Amino acid sequence: NAGVTQTPKFQVLKTGQSMTLQCAQDMNHEYMSWYRQDPGMGLRLIHYSVGAGITDQGEVPNGYNVSRSTTEDFPLRLLSAAPSQTSVYFCASSSSGPPEYFGPGTRLTVT
Amino acid sequence: GEDVEQSLFLSVREGDSSVINCTYTDSSSTYLYWYKQEPGAGLQLLTYIFSNMDMKQDQRLTVLLNKKDKHLSLRIADTQTGDSAIYFCAETPGGYNKLIFGAGTRLAVHP
């Protein structure tokens, strides 16, 4: 039982590049979400999903896309990276209710 | 508006009690949560309190809620070095899928 896994751990992008942050969980959780954490701030919700095929926007969705084709996976796509997207990204899951298990995070730098 | 405020830093001696405070703004939050983040790791859900409760105790953790003042606190009894971490409170004005986090309180435990 690996919990919530995220890849990569670190990534450097140039402005305008696109990439996908991967997130997977093996707990059969319906609820998954993506947050970003910036220095001196709390986590902010980007997108979330309440089950396969269902996604919705959070507080800061602009510049990000998600899809949920399976219960296990919830990838986050950056369409055209900008320096403002430099952050630490966390994926989380729960069987219901608030995020319970968080992944170890992806540290993204956009130059 | 939605805003959660916490003091940034707290230092306590090992064995003493720690009290971490949080104020929130949205009285419609049904649940209020406390998360712990250890260095280099994702958040873990510590405990929560339902908005119609004043107090909740869970082993060494006590959560107090003052709805009139919109004030939430987390007390850790017999604080240990393993409790050193950043503690985040979160409110749920948009339902438990959409948490609003504070910036976090860094707890340092010294001998």
> What digits encode the pLDDT tens for the residues B71-110?
999 999 999 999 999 999 998 887 767 888 999 999 999 9
> B-contacting residues of A 14-43, CB under 8 Å?
31, 33, 40-43
Closest CB from B31, B42, B104 relative to A98? B31
Q: HSE of A63 in the Cβ direction (CA atoms, 13 Å)?
A: 15
Residue of A nearest to B48 (CA): A98
DSSP-derived 3-state class of residue A83: helix
Q: Kind and range of the H or E element at A69? A: none
Q: Which residue has the higher pLDDT, B43 or A107?
A: A107
Return the HEC string of chain B: CCCEEECCEEEEECCCCEEEEEEECCCCCCEEEEEEECCCCCEEEEEEEECCCCEEEECCEEEEEECCCCEEEEEECCCCHHHCEEEEEEECCCCCCCCEECCCEEEEEEC
pLDDT of residue B1: 44
Contact B21, B6 (CB under 8 A): yes
DSSP-derived 3-state class of residue A84: helix
pLDDT of residue A39: 85
Is the CB of A42 less than 8 angstroms away from the CB of B41? no
Closest-CA distance, A29 to chain B, in angstroms, reads 13
